């Protein structure tokens, strides 16, 4: 007998429909899965067999062929177990389910028949809705996450033994949708911990206000890593749609549990990371750190220790806000709108050339800083030269708290949204929008002078304007005045690098 079931396979951070066809007929007992399954899918045979037997079903002593259509699509992961089991039960006459064609199933099976949670449940339920399914059976643990999607009935299932009950119309209560945290996590590290460093504080505030990228250069132990980790706490809360985007990515990478990552992501990959780990890669493509940092902060500590090809790979996605991963089967686009924050020592020994104790040879310093001044540097908006805090500063009282800074940042963001549209910030202004900025003649003259003297690139010119616009937004000024431009140019200064 032949039976079918609907399920999905995860592809990047979205899901694609898969139809499971099971044929059970007389012949030598065998169990084959065809249709480009990966190892995890092929191993479904053993899980499905054990789960069915241990839940009191009969495993047909026949020739079983499972076809996963479309055959050209690569199927990955164990999330198709449940659909295979359901179709097999129907094909062997053990499950009567009127209207099962309109229901999708997704879930991994344990040997005792428990339905285990799967990564990407949110994307799968969204895909089921797009695919026109009326309901979808999901692992009980994924219920709250699945309910976020809306528009399709969610049927949580704890064990494969519950399938006949579901088929007979037994329904438990619909799961409550997961509550998406949007604001900063209570008890998260606070900017009050950063003592002294007035310049760095200002740079952090401007960067947060306009979504600008920031490079901190200074000796070790001055508070660079400490400052970066406080950045999410001064960023505005996520909008509802943004929170859903963050949740979708967290779900697809299996990090969305009951305790949702509240607020904006903060990712700080180690400098030994590969290019694929940073921007995404593999078959099927897996999101990299830049996608995990979507709508949040990507912090590259010890920037000069990263491999050059890894940093180069960052350039295009940084500007586009998405990364395209080309595979033979097609190109996947993954979102990656993040704030880049980087930190570096000024030279290999960390003291800086101006320090008489610096033992670094000139060529070593040059090679080290080469990574800073390359094409990536052109894409960094702010440069903060960090110095060691003085004895009174480091021993003094706490600095301004994150909440106070965040209020100013939020006010500046509101002005940007009024001008540019919901959820957008100055760092994302298009060239046309930059041209539309109101610039006082004095401010324009300052920039023109610098452009000619330093032979800036066109990109650097526009970046200065974007930054000046943010300084003006923080001050509540309608246009970019001379004062704002001077401040912006100061924040972009690279005399120490």
Spatial separation of the C-alpha atoms in residues 10 and 249, rounded to whole Å: 12
Which of Mg ion, ligand ADP, none is residue 243 near (CB under 5 to 8 Å by kind)?
none
Q: Give me 464's structure tokens.
A: 């200065």
Identify the residue among 212, 224, 230, 286 touching ligand ADP (CB under 6 A).
224
Identify the residue among 197, 369, 402, 426 touching ligand ADP (CB under 6 A).
197
Which is closer to ligand ADP, CB of 49 or CB of 199? 199
Please provide the DSSP assignment of 440-463 as one string.
-HHHHHHHHHHHHHHT--HHHHHH
Which of ligand ADP, Mg ion, none is residue 316 near (CB under 5 to 8 Å by kind)?
none
225 touches ligand ADP (CB under 6 A): yes
Specify the 3-state DSSP secondary structure of 367.
helix
Which of ligand ADP, Mg ion, none is residue 416 near (CB under 5 to 8 Å by kind)?
none
Which is closer to Mg ion, CB of 207 or CB of 334? 207
Question: The tokens 């008489």 sit on which residue?
Answer: 356
Q: Are 159 and 52 in contact (CB under 8 A)?
A: no
Per DSSP, 286 falls in state B
Identify the residue among 163, 194, 279, 427 touching ligand ADP (CB under 6 A).
194
- Least Å distance, CB 14 to ligand ADP, is 37
Stretch of 100-108, 123-131, 217-225, 467-475 lying at the interface with ligand ADP (CB under 6 A): 217-225
Q: Are 206 and 468 in contact (CB under 8 A)?
A: no
Which of ligand ADP, Mg ion, none is residue 389 near (CB under 5 to 8 Å by kind)?
ligand ADP
Is the peptide bond between 376 and the residue preceding it cis, with omega within 30 degrees of 0?
no
Q: Give me 110's structure tokens.
A: 């344990």
223 touches ligand ADP (CB under 6 A): yes
Which of ligand ADP, Mg ion, none is residue 244 near (CB under 5 to 8 Å by kind)?
none
Q: Give me 48's structure tokens.
A: 């499905």
221 touches ligand ADP (CB under 6 A): yes
Spatial separation of the C-alpha atoms in residues 194 and 224, rounded to whole Å: 9
Spatial separation of the C-alpha atoms in residues 241 and 364, rounded to whole Å: 47
CA dihedral 127, 131, 133, 136 (to 10 degrees): -20
Residues 6+ apart with CB under 8 A from 226: 193, 194
Identify the residue among 175, 196, 317, 481 touching ligand ADP (CB under 6 A).
196
Q: Which of residues 377-396 bind ligand ADP (CB under 6 A)?
A: 389, 394
Strand 108-109 relative to strand 14-25: parallel, antiparallel, unpaired? unpaired
- Least Å distance, CB 402 to ligand ADP, is 14
Q: Give me 163's structure tokens.
A: 């399938």
- Least Å distance, CB 191 to ligand ADP, is 10
Q: Give me 479's structure tokens.
A: 């246009």
Which is closer to ligand ADP, CB of 252 or CB of 343? 343
Identify the residue among 70, 150, 165, 220 touching ligand ADP (CB under 6 A).
220
Which of Mg ion, ligand ADP, none is residue 226 near (CB under 5 to 8 Å by kind)?
ligand ADP
225 touches Mg ion (CB under 5 A): yes
Give me the residues that bind Mg ion (CB under 5 A), please.
225
Give me the residues that bind ligand ADP (CB under 6 A), please.
193-197, 220-226, 343, 389, 394
């Amino acid at each position: 007998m032949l039976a079918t079931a609907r399920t999905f396979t995860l592809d990047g951070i979205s899901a694609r429909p898969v139809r499971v066809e099971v044929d059970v007929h007389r012949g030598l007992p065998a169990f084959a899965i065809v249709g480009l399954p990966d190892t995890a899918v092929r191993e479904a045979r053993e899980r499905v067999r054990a789960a069915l037997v241990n839940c009191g079903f009969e495993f047909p002593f026949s020739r079983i062929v499972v076809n996963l259509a479309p055959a050209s699509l690569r199927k990955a992961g164990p999330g198709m177990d449940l659909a295979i089991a359901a179709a097999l039960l129907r094909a062997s006459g053990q499950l009567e389910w009127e209207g099962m064609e309109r229901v999708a199933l997704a879930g991994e099976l344990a040997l005792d028949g428990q339905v285990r949670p799967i990564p990407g449940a949110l994307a799968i339920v969204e895909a089921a809705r797009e695919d026109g399914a009326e309901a979808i059976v999901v692992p009980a643990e994924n219920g709250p996450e699945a309910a976020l999607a809306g528009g399709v009935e969610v049927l949580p299932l704890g064990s494969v033994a519950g399938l006949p009950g579901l088929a007979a119309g037994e329904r438990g209560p619909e799961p409550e949708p997961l509550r998406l945290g949007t604001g900063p996590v209570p008890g998260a590290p606070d900017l009050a911990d950063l003592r002294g460093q007035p310049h760095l504080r200002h740079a952090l505030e401007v960067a947060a206000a306009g979504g600008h990228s920031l490079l901190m250069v200074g000796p070790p132990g001055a508070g660079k890593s400490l400052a970066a980790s406080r950045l999410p706490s001064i960023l505005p809360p996520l909008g509802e749609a943004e929170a859903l985007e963050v949740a979708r990515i967290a779900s697809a990478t299996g990090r969305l549990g009951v305790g949702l990552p509240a607020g904006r992501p903060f990712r700080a990959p180690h400098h030994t990371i590969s290019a694929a780990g940073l921007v995404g890669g593999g078959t099927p493509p897996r999101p990299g750190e830049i996608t995990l940092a979507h709508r949040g902060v990507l912090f590259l500590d010890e920037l000069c220790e990263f491999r050059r090809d890894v940093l180069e790979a960052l350039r295009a996605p940084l500007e586009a806000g998405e990364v395209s991963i080309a595979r033979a089967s097609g190109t996947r686009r993954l979102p990656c709108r993040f704030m880049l924050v980087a930190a570096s020592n000024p030279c290999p020994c960390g003291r800086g050339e101006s320090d008489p104790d610096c033992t670094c040879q000139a060529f070593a310093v040059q090679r080290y800083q080469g990574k800073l001044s390359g094409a990536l540097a052109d894409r960094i908006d702010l440069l903060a030269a960090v110095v060691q805090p003085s004895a009174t500063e480091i021993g003094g009282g706490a600095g301004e708290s994150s909440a106070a800074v965040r209020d100013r940042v939020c006010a500046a963001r509101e002005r940007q949204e009024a001008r540019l549209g919901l959820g957008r910030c100055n760092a994302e202004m298009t060239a046309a929008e930059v041209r539309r900025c109101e610039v006082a003649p004095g401010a324009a003259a300052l920039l023109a002078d610098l452009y000619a003297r330093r032979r800036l690139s066109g990109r650097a010119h526009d970046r200065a304007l974007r930054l000046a616009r943010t300084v003006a937004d923080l001050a509540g000024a309608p246009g970019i005045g001379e004062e704002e431009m001077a401040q912006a140019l100061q924040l972009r200064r690279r005399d120490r690098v």
